[in-house]
Chain A
Amino acid sequence: MIWALRKELLLQWKTRTQFLAVFVFGATSLLLFSFAVGPNSEALRLYSAGFLWLGLLLSSTLTLAESYHAEMENRALEGLLLLPSDPRALYYGKAVANWLQLALLGIGLVPVMVVLYDAGTTDLLRLLAIILLGTAGLSAPGTLYAAMTSQARAKQTLLPLLLFPLIVPALLASVKATSLVILGDPMQQLPSWISLLAAFDAIYWSLCGLLFGRVVED
Chain B
Amino acid sequence: MKTTAPAILLAIGAYFGFVVAVAQFHGMTAFALGLPSGAIATLAATCGVAGAIWFLFANDQVESPRPAQLLIGLALLCLGFGSYYGLFVAPPEQYMGEVQRIMYVHVPTAWNALLAMTLAFVCAVIFLFNGDYKWDSRMEGSIETGVVLAFLLCCQGAIWAKPTWGVWWDWDPRLTTTAVLLFAFLGILALRKFVEDPAKRAIWSAVSTIIAYVDVPIVYFSVRWWNSLHQQQSSPGTVSKQFWLPLRLNAFGILFLMVAFIMLRARIASLRLKHEMAPPLPEIAELGEAV
Question: Which positions in A face B, CB cutoff 8 Å?
Answer: 141, 144-145, 148-149, 151-154, 157-158, 161-162, 164-166, 168-169, 172-173, 176, 192-193, 196, 199-200, 203-204, 207-208, 211, 214-215, 217
**Does B191 lie within 8 Å of A207, measured CB to CB?**
no
B226 within 8 A of A: yes
Provide the bound-state CA to CA distance between A97 and B185, in Å.
28
Provide the bound-state CA to CA distance between A218 and B191, in Å.
18
Instruction: Please give, as numbers and ranges, the residues of chain B lying within 8 Å of A149 by CB-CB distance.
Output: 191
Provide the bound-state CA to CA distance between A154 and B210, in Å.
22
Q: A172-B222, A172-B223, A214-B203 are in contact. Are A165 and B187 (CB under 8 A)?
A: yes
**Does B187 lie within 8 Å of A169, measured CB to CB?**
no
**Does B194 lie within 8 Å of A154, measured CB to CB?**
yes
Provide the B202-233 mask, 1 if CB < 8 A to any CB of A, else 0: 01101110111011001101110110000000
**Does A168 lie within 8 Å of B211, measured CB to CB?**
no
Residue of B nearest to A204 (CB): B211
| Total contacting residues, chain B, CB less than 8 A | 31
**Does B221 lie within 8 Å of A176, measured CB to CB?**
no
Instruction: Please give, as numbers and ranges, the residues of chain A lying within 8 Å of B200 by CB-CB distance.
Output: 151
**Does B180 lie within 8 Å of A168, measured CB to CB?**
yes
Instruction: Please give, as numbers and ranges, the residues of chain A lying within 8 Å of B194 by CB-CB distance.
Output: 152-154, 158
Instruction: Please give, as numbers and ranges, the residues of chain B lying within 8 Å of A148 by CB-CB distance.
Output: 191, 195, 204, 207-208
Instruction: Please give, as numbers and ranges, the residues of chain A lying within 8 Å of B188 by CB-CB distance.
Output: 162
Q: For residues 37 through 65 of chain B, which have their beta carbon under 8 Å from a beta carbon of chain A?
A: none
Provide the B111-137 mask, 1 if CB < 8 A to any CB of A, else 0: 000000000000000001000000000
| 6 new A-B contacts at CB < 8 Å, known A166-B212, A172-B222, A172-B226 | A161-B186, A161-B187, A162-B187, A166-B211, A169-B219, A217-B203
Among A168, A192, A207, the most chain B Cβ lie within 10 Å of the Cβ of A168
**Does A200 lie within 8 Å of B218, measured CB to CB?**
yes
Provide the B249-291 mask, 1 if CB < 8 A to any CB of A, else 0: 0000000000000000000000000000000000000000000
Provide the bound-state CA to CA distance between A196 and B184, in Å.
20
Q: For residues 152 through 195 of chain B, which have their beta carbon under 8 Å from a beta carbon of chain A?
A: 180-181, 183-184, 186-188, 190-191, 194-195
Residue of A nearest to B220 (CB): A169
**Does B207 lie within 8 Å of A144, measured CB to CB?**
yes
| A174 → B minimal CB distance (Å) | 11
| A122 → B minimal CB distance (Å) | 26
Q: A169-B218, A200-B218, A215-B204 are in contact. Are A161 and B211 (CB under 8 A)?
A: no
Instruction: Please give, as numbers and ranges, the residues of chain B lying within 8 Å of A157 by CB-CB distance.
Output: 190
| A53 → B minimal CB distance (Å) | 14
Provide the bound-state CA to CA distance between A160 and B194, in Å.
14
Could you list some 15 contacts between A and B, CB below 8 A? A148-B208, A151-B195, A152-B195, A153-B194, A153-B196, A157-B190, A158-B187, A158-B190, A162-B191, A165-B183, A166-B184, A172-B226, A196-B222, A204-B211, A214-B206
| A180 → B minimal CB distance (Å) | 12
Instruction: Please give, as numbers and ranges, the residues of chain B lying within 8 Å of A211 by CB-CB distance.
Output: 128, 207, 210-211
Provide the bound-state CA to CA distance between A204 and B226, in Å.
21
Provide the bound-state CA to CA distance between A151 and B196, in Å.
11
Q: Which residue from B183, B196, B207, B223 sits with its C-beta under 8 Å from A164?
A: B183
| A192 → B minimal CB distance (Å) | 7
